[in-house]
Amino acid sequence: MSDRTPSGDGFGQTPKNIEHLLRDVREALQMDVAFVSEFAGDQLVFRALEGDAESFGWQEGESFPVDESYCKRVLDGRIPQVVPDAKREDATKDLRVTSEADMGSYCAVPLVLSDGRLYGTLCCVSHAPDPWLRERDLRLMERTASWLVKHLERLDSAMRSLGELATRDHLTGAYNRRAGEEHLLKDIARAERGGGTLSLAVQDIDGLKSVNDEHGHQAGDACLEHFASVLGRSVREGDWIARWGGDEFVVGVWQAQGEETSAKRVLERAAGELREDPPVLPSGEEVRLTFSVGVGQWRAGDDVQGLFRKADEALYRAKAAGRNTVIEHAD
């Protein structure tokens, strides 16, 4: 009888990281390698490897066709989850991976996320056959898999958060310039396919420099944050806001066929809300804030530069007209 502890004894504390987790399960089952695989389209990717992976010819980050793997066959029911002797098991003895990786014994459980998505598998393998490898060893593998799923979901959430943070202006929460440029390119492609009208609104906050000079940059930052918040409440679903730099913001506005709400109306509504809800400085003082807007409407043949040129020309006219107004470019 084997002296390993497949019931999971010794796993009472959360492992420090995935490497420690894989080492613990590998040593408990007395296998050569433990690994986490991810199913990425038609590829199986080694996301984490612990043990003598080099002797199998595997490296972390390496991928190969998923249909050639034991992992996929296990999930399809073509291979048992526990294979004590891969070179004698009918389902595995003639597979290319058995000879190429010199597979002797194998054990695998699926990694299924809480929303039902299949991430991949947790596997343990050895070159030598293992007559003591039994279905009961899956209990330890399944317990390990549950820890892994929790870790993967925290990591997935963190990566999504990081990805979102990478698109946002750190002060206002609006999209940053890079993300705004990506949205604009997508919107122009959508406009070229038809189905609506795209307008680009470029706006500057009037007199923000004087707020900075008189009250300090913290006051200016408070104005920027508040302005972005008011814009966010004024635009509609499908529109977007980006801080282009300094006190310049850009808004992409869609007007569906037959819809009466134009970009000018959206920005005039924002101006009205800003009058009703002025920013409050760190000192507790309210400050009257206005902004000037230039709107350019996409026409067939316009690229990003052409659309910006229209909006910038209209913004220049808005400032020349005394600021605190919305001017549309006359095509």
List, by residue number, the catalytic residues.
247
Q: Which of 207, 220, 226, 221 is nearest to 276 (CA)?
A: 226
User: β-strands 105-112, 82-83: how paired?
Assistant: antiparallel
Q: Walk across the sheet containing 82-83 and list its strands.
A: 63-65, 43-51, 33-40, 118-126, 105-112, 82-83
CB 36 within 8 A of CB 47: yes
Quick one: DSSP state of residue 187? H
CA-based nearest residue to 49, from 62, 36, 64: 36
Q: What is the DSSP string of 281-311?
A: -TTS-B---EEEEEEEE--TT--HHHHHHHH
**One-letter-per-residue 3-state SS of 16-76:** CCHHHHHHHHHHHHCCCEEEEEEEECCEEEEEEEEECHHHHCCCCCCEEEHHHCHHHHHHH
Q: Which of 72, 80, 142 is nearest to 111 (CA)?
A: 142
**Is residue 241 a contact partner of residue 248, using CB atoms and an 8 Å limit?**
no
Q: How many Å apart are CA 86 and CA 224, to the nearest integer?
A: 65
Q: Pick from 244, 243, 216: which is nearest to 229 by CA? A: 243
